[in-house]
Structure 1
Amino acid sequence: MDDKAKRLAKVLKLPKLGQLGIVVKDIEKTAKFYSDTFGLKPWFRAGLSDEEHNLGGKKRLDFDVDIVMAFSGKIQFELIRHVKGDRNIYLDHLEKHGEGLHHLGFFVSDFDKRMEALDKMGIGVLQSGVIKSVGKAGGSVTKYAYLDTVEIGGIIFELIQTKFVGVNIKMSRLWFELGNITGDLEKLKF
């Protein structure tokens, strides 16, 4: 392990893997394949009310994506389809590599602190943002950042922090079932 990788490991102290992010062209076809082949179901689609995305932490982006999620144990499978709008890392990945694994996601409770430490280390941010869901209970707020870790880790790492009414939550099937009741998520059948 080189020096930068050692420093990164020390700063990040990543929790266990929480998410596999997969870029796809056809959400329904892919979700059905994962359901039929691996028993991944149910799938959930977030009802998003407000999104802010930034390229490299600076340039504001305007784009729409369709995202559905399911769980295998504690691992969340996230299928992402670019719908329209500005160039972003999902569209770039699709054009350069085709469909497939895009990132490894890690759910954290101290997002801002970690981002400050990464900035001091010179670890770049490919894309970041804040996503708010809409629901009867006030919705949730998720901060995310895709880190420039391909050279040192072979893949993009994503840090994710979700709060519901100001309290950190770990994304889980239970939370998704509750989100379906509050209107924050839609339960799908493929």
Structure 2
Amino acid sequence: MDNGVLGTQVVTQIGIIVKDVEKTARSYADFFGIPEPESFWTDTADLAQTEYEGQPTPARAKLAFFDMGQLQIELIQPDEGPSTWREFLDKQGEGVHHIAFGIKGMKEKIALLGNKGMPLIQKGEFTGGRYAYMNTLDELKVLVELLEND
């Protein structure tokens, strides 16, 4: 079976931009009848090394994660720094921001998608790995996030 451009067909995460991560996390927890996850801020710029549209940015986001079997729901409350999260909230309001895939070979996948007209928007590091948001809006109507764990 062909695993497509990324080498996988498994969506591992749906990312949702929200104005208030705690309030939204409470709503999800109540809806699913599960405990509310702890929310936390992403790493500071010196650790995260976040770049947005090719430029370093101090942007951070407050996150909460729901592990729902094979799929994870990520709630993202952006700060005011320039980022794809802030741009989404300012232009579109709350809603689905991305679908994510666990991949291997981040640099190669970024180049591959870039060559297909799906350029890198934002990338950064997190404890245990890295992420990259690719502009797949024209083709897929949602951003794709690449997640690579060490």
Give the structure-1-normalised TM-score: 0.69
- Structure 1's unaligned 5+ residue stretches are 1-8, 133-139, 164-190
C-alpha displacement at 1:42, in angstroms? 5.1
**Equivalent AA in structure 1 for residue 141 of structure 2:** G
Name the CA distance, whole Å, in 2 between partners of 1:83 and 1:118: 28
Structure 1 contact 41–70 (Cα < 8 Å) conserved: no
Name the CA distance, whole Å, in 1 between partners of 2:99 and 2:25: 18
Please tell me whether residue 145 in structure 1 is matched to residue 132 in structure 2. yes
Give the one of 52, 56, 65 matched to 1:55.
52
Structure 1 contact 40–71 (Cα < 8 Å) conserved: no
Name the CA distance, whole Å, in 2 between partners of 1:39 and 1:111: 36
Distance change in 2, residues 1:35/1:159 (3 Å): same
Identity over the aligned pairs, expressed in percent?
27
Give the structure-2-normalised TM-score: 0.85
C-alpha displacement at 1:124, in angstroms? 0.7
Q: What is the match of residue 93 of structure 2?
A: 98
C-alpha displacement at 1:48, in angstroms? 3.5
Name the CA distance, whole Å, in 2 between partners of 1:43 and 1:61: 27
Q: What is the match of residue 125 of structure 2?
A: 130
**Which one has the largest radius of gyration?**
1
Name the CA distance, whole Å, in 1 between partners of 2:43 and 2:121: 22
Number of matched residues? 145
Select between 117-126 and 98-107 the one with higher mean Cα deviation: 117-126
- Structure 2's unaligned 5+ residue stretches are none
C-alpha displacement at 1:117, in angstroms? 1.8
Name the CA distance, whole Å, in 2 between partners of 1:54 and 1:63: 9
Q: What is the match of residue 173 of structure 1?
A: none
Q: What is the match of residue 9 of structure 2?
A: 15
Structure 1 contact 40–70 (Cα < 8 Å) conserved: no
